[in-house]
Amino acid sequence: MLDSPKPNPPKADAPKTLADDRRIEALLLHRELEEFNNSYAAALDELRLMDWAEMFTDDAFYVVISRENADRGRPVGLIYCENKGMIHDRAFAHENTEMFAPRYLRHIIGNLQVLGEDQNGDIRARANYVVVQVLFDRPEAKLHQVGVYYDKFRRRGEQLKLAERRCVYDNLLVDNALCLPV
Amino acid sequence: MTSQKANFTRDYVWPDDDLTVIPDWVYTDQVVYEREVERIFHGPTWNFVALEAEIPNAGDFIRSNVGPTPVVVARAQDGTIGVFENRCRHRAAEFCRELSGSANEFICPYHQWTYDLKGNLIGVPFRRGLGGKGGMPADFKLQDHGLPQLKVTAHRGVVFASYCDTMESFADYLGPEVLREFEATFDGRKLTVLGHYRHSLPGNWKLYHENLKDPYHATLLHTFLVTFGLLVAGNRSLMLADKSGRHGVMASAKSDAKSVTGDAKKEMRSFKEGFTLHEPRLMDFVEEFDSPWSVTMATIWPNLIVQREMNTLGIRQIVPTGPHEFIMKWTMFGFEGDDEAMTRHRLRQGNLMGPAGFLGLEDNEAIKFVQDGMQRVPDGKHLVKLDPQTPVGTADTLISEAAIRAMYRHWRQQMGL
């Protein structure tokens, strides 16, 4: 048996190249951001707004802005938060002080693309989003928002946080009111 | 339709001629709505159409509306502003499809009839036919087929249009008291546009006017107003109505929340004792206006709201689409000379307003609830009985509906009802 020819080694045992490492890293990062967005959608769908607020860095910028404004370089947003304090105030107000009709929401996030890494290590990404709304007194589900998240993610220890999320929505008209964040 | 018109005054009688009760048909009836378009929006009123800052240069245009009717607002080569219908004289195509832009002329995409920046017809392809055949009749004149042009006026950078040729001046239209508040906000500085909000609202368009002539709700519905002292029962305030009753200004001077009396707190469920903000700058007021008021909400009949909520400034244009719904277009602005910090402050404070604003979303929801109530239990009446000491007109208490009654006195005159 000693003379029998050595079989070709299986591919998995091949020495890993730098390119392989990068590909795996990219896949892991993509998966990690997807998982983040899934948790983000779940927090909003389940109205856990304080959990939602905790997904941002202290200096985070969060804005919901129409494509009409964004395309024209006009800064006005439906929601305009310059830091986590304002995001927290939003969450608190929507949970405790704002008067609006009860509803179910479903956030669907897809088409994630990782766009690159900034000098400071922030990860730039974008994803399409859809918000579907069901009002208790108008039982059909209606498309409430459709748009794109333009994101900057930052590592905080084991966790990822959003340092920036610009929600740019395509629909020209908001259906009555945007009563919860997107 | 004919029979409805014949029965109009018989079928639509205001109950007991009493302004403290408003019948539902005022808000829900298609015939009443169509009469409003004819007599109010297309009648003797100045309708807001644009800010000059949105069309600063020759050739700039913006799509707008007078009532439900689509118009184009354009600045011609000579610098004047024209307002004309967005409807080709040939086959009625709504030819201008962009929200705003810049052009040398308007060409209807269907058959390429061409209009200049003032709405004059300047070109009809194959007008003389081809090879001696076809074409328009020999007596067809371009000058007889321009786009219907509205009368235009502008005051402090705010542009208005009217279908009525015999309109009074804008200053006379507002009256001295409302004009003073208008000029306190539009104080002569040049405006810079910060952006728009657009939303639908499933309620009758007049409910939006009423909401801003109803300071009672402001002290009850809006936690942010009440808890942070912006508009609280007991504040120095005014609910102004002009002589005609069509315009109004709700005005209030910000107070310290600590000054709210125990009695007032008991009446206001929305007062949240101890509610504080992580970002208190949201509620900062930078004094910049020659006015005793920190907040004014002016309702300019029939389609304009001027919002000066401390330092977040905006105008809101009502575009009715039927008795049960209207579209609201907001244009948020600042002034030339605002530094980066001031612009940021206006944007930050903008969280109070608009369809996701801490105040704005609550108003939209409340108005929708009113329309729902009328549609689902029809043929009812509303009560607007607060403050009988002031039957109609200006009230110096927030617990008043006198300005709403004044508006309906005017509405009934305009509508002949």
In a domain, A89, yes or no: yes
Fold classification of B47-154 (topology level): Rieske Iron-sulfur Protein (2.102.10)
Q: Which 358-397 residues of chain B touch chain A by CB within 8 A?
A: 358, 360-362, 364-366, 368-369, 372
Q: What is the CATH number of the domain that holds A23?
A: 3.10.450.50
Bigger pLDDT: B7 vs B331: B331
Report yes or no: A89 and A98 within 8 Å, Cβ to Cβ.
no
Q: Which residues pair with B107 in a beta bridge?
A: B114
In a domain, A161, yes or no: yes
Q: Determine the length of chain B.
A: 417
- Provide the whole-model pTM: 0.93
In a domain, A12, yes or no: no
- For B38, the token pair is 């004819």
In a domain, A43, yes or no: yes
Burial class from Cβ neighbours inside 10 Å (0-12, 13-18, 19+) for residue B375 reads middle
Number of domains in chain A: 1
Judge whether residue B6 has pLDDT over 70: no
Helices of type H across chain A: 18-45, 49-53, 67-71, 84-96
CB pairs < 8 Å spanning A and B: 122
Compute the nearest-CA separation of B226 from chain A (Å).
11
Closest among B301, B326, B325, B303 to B316, alpha carbons compared: B303
- Segment B186-208, tens digit of pLDDT: 999 999 999 999 999 999 999 99
Give first-to-last CA distance, chain B, whole Å.
Answer: 18
Closest among B184, B189, B151 to B170, alpha carbons compared: B151
Closest among A28, A68, A161, A101 to B368, alpha carbons compared: A101
- Segment B133-148, tens digit of pLDDT: 999 999 999 999 999 9
Closest among B333, B256, B250 to B293, alpha carbons compared: B250
- Can you give the pLDDT at residue A19? 86
Q: Which architecture, in CATH terms, is B175-415?
A: Alpha-Beta Complex (3.90)
- Can you give the pLDDT at residue B2? 45
Where along chain B do its domains lie?
A: 47-154, 175-415
The mean pLDDT of B316-329, rounded to a whole number, is 98
- Segment A108-162, tens digit of pLDDT: 999 999 999 999 999 999 999 999 999 998 889 999 999 999 999 999 999 999 9
| Contacts by A19-27, CB closer than 8 A, 24 or more apart | A26/A114
In a domain, A93, yes or no: yes
- Cβ within 8 Å, pair A97-B361: no
Report yes or no: A47 and A180 within 8 Å, Cβ to Cβ.
yes
Structural domain harbouring A124: 19-169
In a domain, A2, yes or no: no
Closest among A151, A129, A50, A98 to B356, alpha carbons compared: A98
In a domain, A1, yes or no: no
Q: Which residues in chain A are contacts of B199 at CB distance < 8 A?
A: 173-177
Strand-pair category, A159-169 with A56-66: parallel
The mean pLDDT of B248-273, rounded to a whole number, is 74
Q: What does the alpha-carbon distance between residue B296 and residue B227 come to, in Å, rounded to a whole number? A: 18
Report yes or no: B260 and B234 within 8 Å, Cβ to Cβ.
yes
- Segment A61-88, tens digit of pLDDT: 999 999 999 999 999 999 999 999 999 9
Sheet of A103-117, strand order: A79-81, A56-66, A159-169, A138-156, A123-135, A103-117
Q: Does A176 touch chain B (CB under 8 A)?
A: yes
pLDDT band of B396, cuts 50, 70, 90 = confident
In a domain, A55, yes or no: yes
Q: Which amino acid is at B34?
A: E
Judge whether residue B397 has pLDDT over 90: no
**E strand or H helix that includes residue A103:** strand A103-117
Judge whether residue B258 has pLDDT over 90: no
pLDDT band of B1, cuts 50, 70, 90 = very low
Chain B contact probe: residue of A78, A83, A142, A170 with most B CBs at under 10 A? A78
The contacts of residue B320 (CB under 8 Å, 6+ apart) are B33, B36, B37, B41, B67, B68, B205, B326
